[in-house]
Structures are given as structure tokens and as C-alpha cells.
Amino acid sequence: MSIKRITISVPAKVASRIKKAAGSMPVSAWVTDAIEERLNDAELEQQWREFYRDVSPSRKDVGRADLMFQTPDQAELEQRRSVMSAAASSSTLVCSSRSTSEYGR
């Protein structure tokens, strides 16, 4: 890999933060890693948008995919919400059926 030297200017506070974050690592190596990560993330995001546009997933598919990529805590919370929502719907139906039977309808 060839190396090209460039000069950048950053605010003094940013320079201090960079040096602190780099620790014992050479600043140029740390900055290179940070920039490569940012560029790779942007490239992956662009590829994802293109894929998503080409595939055109349904809302149901998107919901299933979201559940697969949630952390265990998020998935558990979503499952509890779903159960509570179903229970609320079911109790509404029970209350409705009682009130109609009480009035002989």
C-alpha cells in the first residue's frame, strides 16, 4: 500500500480529542482508521439503499427483519408490547360481550 501525506487543519479542541483517543497509537494511524471506518459505513449504507430499492420488501418483511436484528432486550420488549396489545384487545372484546349480554342484545 502506498502512503500519501496530506495535511488537515482541525480546531484545537478536536486535535486534543484525537490525540487523547489515539492514546499510544500514532495519530495518523488512528485518523486513518477512523476515516476508513466512516467511508466504509457510507459505502455500505449506499449499497443497502440500492438493495432495498431493488428488493422492495413488504412492511411485514421489514418488521420481521427488524425483529431479527434487535438486541435481546429490544426483542423482549417488543414481544411484551405485542402480548399486552393482544390482551387489551381481548379484554375489550370480553367487556363488550358482557355489556351486550347484560342488556339482552
**Residues 38 and 49 reside in one and the same domain:** yes
Are residues 46 and 86 located together in one domain of the fold?
Answer: no
In this prediction, residues 57-82 reach a mean pLDDT of 81
Phi-psi map region of 5: left, alpha, beta (phi>0 left; psi -120 to 50 alpha) = beta
| Same-domain check for residues 22 and 42 | yes
Report percent pLDDT > 70 for the chain.
82
Give a yes or no: residue 5 inside a domain: no
| Average pLDDT score over the chain | 83
Say if residue 25 is in the same domain as residue 44. Answer: yes
Between residues 98 and 25, which one has the greater pLDDT?
25
pLDDT at 85: 77
Q: Which domain holds residue 77?
A: 58-105
Cβ neighbours of 18 (radius 10 Å): 14
10 Å Cβ neighbour count for 84?
10
In a domain, 6, yes or no: no
Among 13-27, 34-48, 56-70, whose mean pLDDT is lowest?
56-70
pLDDT confidence of residue 25:
97
Taking residues 46-61, what's their average pLDDT? 90
Say if CB 31 and CB 18 are below 8 A apart: yes
Residues 50 and 69 in one domain: no
Q: What is the largest CA-CA distance in the chain?
A: 87
Q: What is the pLDDT of residue 102?
A: 47
Is residue 97 domain-resident?
A: yes
